[in-house]
Amino acid sequence: MAKERILVVDDEDDILELITFNLSREGYKVFTADNGEKAIKIAKSEIPDMIILDLMLPGIDGLEVARVLKSRDNTKAIPIIMLSAKGDESDIVSGLELGADDYVTKPFSPKILIARIRAVLRRKSDEISDENTPLHVHAFIIDPQRREVMVDENPVELTYTEFEVLHFLAKRPGWVFTRSQIVDAAKGDNYAVTDRSVDVQIVGLRKKLGDSGKFIETVRGVGYRFRERS
């Protein structure tokens, strides 16, 4: 069965070989680039189904590659998973805010990377579904049309912003979002807000959700996510 095409971008030959070997074994068609300029050229010509992008590249770095690709109509929808050295929290945040879908820290397990790839590709496919369809996840039923939330069959009264934040996170379990991404989703790009006010919304949500508030997890140095597993 034909598999998706993946562009792997890294300036370390051993990393390129490791990822290429494991992806090819899973049936994916793999393109490689060892610098940002090549990555942009291949992405524009081949339009891969996903890009695995190292942040530390010679010449144009990974963040600039992501910025260029997300600004072009024919490449902006390509999912990106960033590869980052541990501790590069500011770069991870910048990458997520540019539109990257996930990140994996080095050193990494090939099995975990493949699992992340599958998850992102699956979620991208699921996003085609109707945004107004009630969302069933864990013990939650979130109905965008009625703007109602049920947890363990009990109604939960939320403010407009609390509902938007919960719905945004719950649509993509396991995805990590920065505070500014959450604000943009809940209020639009022009809403002035601080990191602290996002934290206040999350505190209020957790309190109203009771024991189920545990599903909204803090990712230190980055933002928040909705827990993927019960």
135-226 fold: Arc Repressor Mutant, subunit A (1.10.10)
Describe the crossing of helices 179-187 and 195-209 by its angle, rounded to 10 degrees.
80
Give the pLDDT band (50/70/90) at residue 1. very low
Are the C-beta atoms of residues 144 and 134 closer than 8 Å to each other? Answer: yes
pLDDT at 130: 57
Please give the average per-residue pLDDT across 190-201, as a whole number.
Answer: 70
Same fold, 5-126 and 135-226: no
Give the pLDDT band (50/70/90) at residue 89. confident
Please give the average per-residue pLDDT across 64-82, as a whole number.
Answer: 91
CATH superfamily of this structure's domain 5-126: Response regulator (3.40.50.2300)
Please give the average per-residue pLDDT across 96-112, as a whole number.
Answer: 88
pLDDT digits (tens, 9 = 90+) for 122-133: 877 666 555 678
pLDDT digits (tens, 9 = 90+) for 29-42: 999 999 999 999 99
User: Is the pLDDT score of 173 beyond 70?
Assistant: yes
For residue 41, which phi and psi values (nearest 5 degrees)? -60, -45
For residues 183 and 152, the model is more confident at 152
Segments making up each domain of the chain, as ranges: 5-126, 135-226
The answer to whether the predicted template modeling score (pTM) of the entire model surpasses 0.85 is no
pLDDT at 191: 52
pLDDT at 203: 94
